[in-house]
Protein backbone atom coordinates (compact mmCIF):
# COMPACT_ATOMS: atom_id res chain seq x y z
CA UNK A 1 0.00 0.00 0.00
CA UNK A 2 1.34 3.41 -0.89
CA UNK A 3 1.38 5.99 1.87
CA UNK A 4 0.53 8.70 -0.67
CA UNK A 5 -2.96 7.76 -1.93
CA UNK A 6 -4.86 10.82 -3.12
CA UNK A 7 -7.98 10.38 -0.95
CA UNK A 8 -8.52 9.31 2.62
CA UNK A 9 -9.55 5.67 2.52
CA UNK A 10 -9.38 4.65 6.19
CA UNK A 11 -11.41 5.26 9.33
CA UNK A 12 -9.06 4.50 12.21
CA UNK A 13 -5.45 5.63 12.69
CA UNK A 14 -3.39 3.81 15.32
CA UNK A 15 0.22 3.15 16.30
CA UNK A 16 1.59 -0.36 16.66
CA UNK A 17 4.86 -1.98 17.55
CA UNK A 18 6.92 -3.48 14.76
CA UNK A 19 10.22 -5.25 14.38
CA UNK A 20 12.74 -2.52 15.14
CA UNK A 21 10.35 0.17 16.32
CA UNK A 22 6.87 1.55 15.75
CA UNK A 23 4.57 2.06 12.79
CA UNK A 24 1.37 3.85 11.83
CA UNK A 25 -1.61 1.64 11.03
CA UNK A 26 -4.56 2.74 8.92
CA UNK A 27 -7.45 0.41 9.70
CA UNK A 28 -4.80 -2.04 10.85
CA UNK A 29 -2.71 -1.83 7.68
CA UNK A 30 0.85 -0.55 7.94
CA UNK A 31 1.80 2.62 6.08
CA UNK A 32 4.74 2.38 3.69
CA UNK A 33 7.16 4.97 2.40
CA UNK A 34 6.91 6.36 -1.16
CA UNK A 35 9.59 3.82 -2.13
CA UNK A 36 7.41 1.02 -0.70
CA UNK A 37 9.65 0.37 2.31
CA UNK A 38 8.17 -0.33 5.72
CA UNK A 39 7.63 2.97 7.50
CA UNK A 40 9.05 1.84 10.85
CA UNK A 41 10.51 4.48 13.16
CA UNK A 42 12.79 3.99 16.18
CA UNK A 43 10.88 6.24 18.59
CA UNK A 44 7.25 6.08 19.76
CA UNK A 45 7.07 9.88 19.76
CA UNK A 46 7.71 9.95 16.01
CA UNK A 47 5.05 7.32 15.36
CA UNK A 48 2.55 9.24 17.50
CA UNK A 49 3.31 12.47 15.62
CA UNK A 50 2.91 10.75 12.27
CA UNK A 51 -0.37 9.17 13.38
CA UNK A 52 -1.68 12.59 14.35
CA UNK A 53 -0.76 13.92 10.89
CA UNK A 54 -2.49 11.03 9.12
CA UNK A 55 -5.56 11.29 11.32
CA UNK A 56 -5.83 15.02 10.57
CA UNK A 57 -6.27 14.30 6.83
CA UNK A 58 -9.93 14.72 5.96
CA UNK A 59 -10.51 14.26 2.24
CA UNK A 60 -7.55 14.67 -0.09
CA UNK A 61 -4.25 13.71 1.54
CA UNK A 62 -1.89 16.69 1.70
CA UNK A 63 1.76 15.65 2.14
CA UNK A 64 2.70 19.28 2.82
CA UNK A 65 0.68 19.08 6.02
CA UNK A 66 2.62 16.00 7.18
CA UNK A 67 6.16 17.22 7.92
CA UNK A 68 7.09 14.51 10.42
CA UNK A 69 5.95 11.81 8.01
CA UNK A 70 8.03 13.42 5.25
CA UNK A 71 11.10 13.45 7.47
CA UNK A 72 10.65 9.80 8.41
CA UNK A 73 10.18 8.86 4.76
CA UNK A 74 13.36 10.74 3.91
CA UNK A 75 15.32 8.98 6.65
CA UNK A 76 14.33 5.57 5.26
CA UNK A 77 14.20 6.16 1.50
CA UNK A 78 17.06 8.64 1.10
CA UNK A 79 19.39 9.13 4.06
CA UNK A 80 19.73 5.48 5.03
CA UNK A 81 20.83 4.51 1.51
CA UNK A 82 23.33 7.36 1.11
CA UNK A 83 24.35 7.91 4.72
CA UNK A 84 28.06 8.43 4.06
CA UNK A 85 27.46 11.01 1.33
CA UNK A 86 25.03 13.01 3.46
CA UNK A 87 27.37 12.85 6.46
CA UNK A 88 30.34 14.03 4.38
CA UNK A 89 28.31 16.91 2.99
CA UNK A 90 27.31 18.09 6.45
CA UNK A 91 30.75 17.52 7.98
CA UNK A 92 32.19 19.89 5.36
CA UNK A 93 30.47 22.75 7.18
CA UNK A 94 33.06 22.29 9.93
CA UNK A 95 35.74 23.81 7.71
CA UNK A 96 33.59 26.85 6.90
CA UNK A 97 31.34 27.22 9.93
CA UNK A 98 29.20 30.34 10.19
CA UNK A 99 30.53 31.07 13.69
CA UNK A 100 34.10 31.34 12.41
CA UNK A 101 33.64 34.14 9.86
CA UNK A 102 33.38 37.52 11.52
CA UNK A 103 32.56 41.02 10.35
CA UNK A 104 35.35 43.56 10.05
CA UNK A 105 32.97 46.47 10.77
CA UNK A 106 31.07 48.15 12.32
CA UNK A 107 32.74 47.63 15.68
CA UNK A 108 29.41 47.11 17.43
CA UNK A 109 28.65 44.09 15.22
CA UNK A 110 32.20 42.76 15.61
CA UNK A 111 31.78 42.93 19.39
CA UNK A 112 28.36 41.31 19.31
CA UNK A 113 29.60 38.39 17.23
CA UNK A 114 32.45 37.84 19.68
CA UNK A 115 30.11 38.08 22.67
CA UNK A 116 27.52 35.66 21.28
CA UNK A 117 29.56 33.25 19.16
CA UNK A 118 32.81 32.83 21.10
CA UNK A 119 31.12 30.98 24.02
CA UNK A 120 29.70 28.40 21.58
CA UNK A 121 33.14 27.80 20.06
CA UNK A 122 34.49 27.44 23.62
CA UNK A 123 31.75 24.91 24.35
CA UNK A 124 32.85 22.91 21.31
CA UNK A 125 36.38 22.72 22.73
CA UNK A 126 35.17 21.42 26.08
CA UNK A 127 32.36 19.13 24.89
CA UNK A 128 33.39 17.97 21.42
CA UNK A 129 37.20 18.23 21.56
CA UNK A 130 36.92 20.52 18.56
CA UNK A 131 38.80 23.82 18.36
CA UNK A 132 37.77 26.08 15.48
CA UNK A 133 39.37 29.47 14.96
CA UNK A 134 37.50 32.66 14.16
CA UNK A 135 38.77 34.87 11.33
CA UNK A 136 37.87 38.34 10.13
CA UNK A 137 36.32 38.62 6.69
CA UNK A 138 34.91 36.04 4.31
CA UNK A 139 38.06 34.51 2.82
CA UNK A 140 38.25 30.81 3.60
CA UNK A 141 40.91 29.60 6.03
CA UNK A 142 41.45 25.94 6.74
CA UNK A 143 40.62 24.73 10.23
CA UNK A 144 42.68 22.48 12.46
CA UNK A 145 42.90 19.04 10.82
CA UNK A 146 42.23 17.15 14.07
CA UNK A 147 39.07 19.17 14.68
CA UNK A 148 37.79 18.60 11.15
CA UNK A 149 38.39 14.85 11.48
CA UNK A 150 36.66 14.78 14.85
CA UNK A 151 33.62 16.59 13.49
CA UNK A 152 33.48 14.21 10.53
CA UNK A 153 33.57 11.23 12.89
CA UNK A 154 30.80 12.69 15.05
CA UNK A 155 28.54 13.31 12.06
CA UNK A 156 29.10 9.85 10.62
CA UNK A 157 28.19 8.34 14.00
CA UNK A 158 24.63 9.66 13.76
CA UNK A 159 21.87 7.23 12.81
CA UNK A 160 19.90 7.82 9.59
CA UNK A 161 16.99 9.30 11.56
CA UNK A 162 19.29 11.53 13.59
CA UNK A 163 21.13 12.57 10.45
CA UNK A 164 17.87 13.53 8.76
CA UNK A 165 17.06 16.02 11.51
CA UNK A 166 20.69 17.08 11.83
CA UNK A 167 20.72 17.93 8.11
CA UNK A 168 18.03 20.56 8.69
CA UNK A 169 19.75 21.94 11.79
CA UNK A 170 23.01 22.40 9.89
CA UNK A 171 21.73 23.56 6.53
CA UNK A 172 19.28 26.05 7.99
CA UNK A 173 21.71 27.57 10.48
CA UNK A 174 24.86 27.34 8.37
CA UNK A 175 26.70 26.03 11.40
CA UNK A 176 27.80 22.53 12.32
CA UNK A 177 28.69 23.74 15.83
CA UNK A 178 25.25 25.25 16.47
CA UNK A 179 23.65 22.02 15.26
CA UNK A 180 25.76 19.97 17.67
CA UNK A 181 24.96 22.41 20.48
CA UNK A 182 21.26 21.74 19.89
CA UNK A 183 21.79 17.99 19.50
CA UNK A 184 23.67 17.85 22.81
CA UNK A 185 21.08 19.96 24.63
CA UNK A 186 23.46 22.88 25.19
CA UNK A 187 21.16 25.23 23.26
CA UNK A 188 17.46 25.07 22.58
CA UNK A 189 16.20 25.59 19.06
CA UNK A 190 15.13 29.20 19.62
CA UNK A 191 18.51 30.24 21.02
CA UNK A 192 20.46 28.50 18.25
CA UNK A 193 18.25 30.02 15.57
CA UNK A 194 18.81 33.53 16.94
CA UNK A 195 22.56 32.98 17.02
CA UNK A 196 22.49 31.81 13.40
CA UNK A 197 20.67 35.02 12.41
CA UNK A 198 22.81 37.42 14.41
CA UNK A 199 23.82 39.44 11.34
CA UNK A 200 20.23 39.60 10.04
CA UNK A 201 18.93 40.67 13.44
CA UNK A 202 21.56 43.40 13.50
CA UNK A 203 20.30 44.70 10.15
CA UNK A 204 16.71 44.56 11.39
CA UNK A 205 17.66 46.70 14.37
CA UNK A 206 19.10 49.29 12.00
CA UNK A 207 16.54 49.26 9.19
CA UNK A 208 13.48 47.48 10.53
CA UNK A 209 11.84 44.22 9.48
CA UNK A 210 10.66 43.36 5.98
CA UNK A 211 7.15 41.94 6.34
CA UNK A 212 7.40 39.54 3.40
CA UNK A 213 10.79 38.28 4.53
CA UNK A 214 9.44 37.90 8.07
CA UNK A 215 6.82 35.42 6.89
CA UNK A 216 9.56 33.23 5.44
CA UNK A 217 11.60 33.55 8.64
CA UNK A 218 8.66 32.43 10.75
CA UNK A 219 8.24 29.34 8.57
CA UNK A 220 11.94 28.54 8.95
CA UNK A 221 11.72 28.99 12.72
CA UNK A 222 9.01 26.33 12.79
CA UNK A 223 11.02 23.97 10.60
CA UNK A 224 14.16 24.44 12.68
CA UNK A 225 12.27 23.77 15.91
CA UNK A 226 10.72 20.65 14.39
CA UNK A 227 14.16 19.33 13.42
CA UNK A 228 15.40 19.90 16.97
CA UNK A 229 12.35 18.09 18.37
CA UNK A 230 12.79 15.24 15.90
CA UNK A 231 16.44 14.76 16.89
CA UNK A 232 15.61 14.87 20.60
CA UNK A 233 12.73 12.43 20.23
CA UNK A 234 15.01 9.85 18.63
CA UNK A 235 17.86 10.39 21.08
CA UNK A 236 15.61 9.96 24.11
CA UNK A 237 14.33 6.56 23.00
CA UNK A 238 17.31 4.99 21.23
Q: Give Rg (Cα) of the chain.
A: 20
Burial of 4 (0-12, 13-18, 19+ CB in 10 A): middle
pLDDT of residue 1: 40
Question: CB–CB of 28/9 below 8 Å?
Answer: no
pLDDT (tens, 9 = 90+) of the chain, 238 residues, equals 444 457 888 999 999 999 989 999 999 999 999 999 999 999 999 999 999 999 999 888 898 999 999 999 999 999 999 999 999 999 999 999 999 999 999 999 999 999 999 999 999 999 999 999 999 988 888 999 999 999 999 999 999 999 999 999 999 999 999 999 999 999 999 999 999 999 999 998 888 877 777 888 899 999 999 999 999 999 987 6
| 134-173 per-position pLDDT tens digit | 999 888 889 999 999 999 999 999 999 999 999 999 999 9
d(CA 102, CA 109): 9
* Prediction pTM value: 0.93
Domains with residue ranges and CATH for the chain: 13-58 (3.30.2180.10), 83-237 (1.10.3580.10)
User: Backbone phi, then psi, for 96, in 5-degree steps?
Assistant: -145, 45
Amino acid sequence: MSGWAAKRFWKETTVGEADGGFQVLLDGRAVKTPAKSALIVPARALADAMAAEWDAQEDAINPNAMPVTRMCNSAIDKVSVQHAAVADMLAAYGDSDLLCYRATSPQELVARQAEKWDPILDWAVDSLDVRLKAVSGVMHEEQDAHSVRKLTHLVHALSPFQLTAFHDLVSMSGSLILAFAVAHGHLDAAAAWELSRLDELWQEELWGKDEEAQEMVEKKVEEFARAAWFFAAISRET
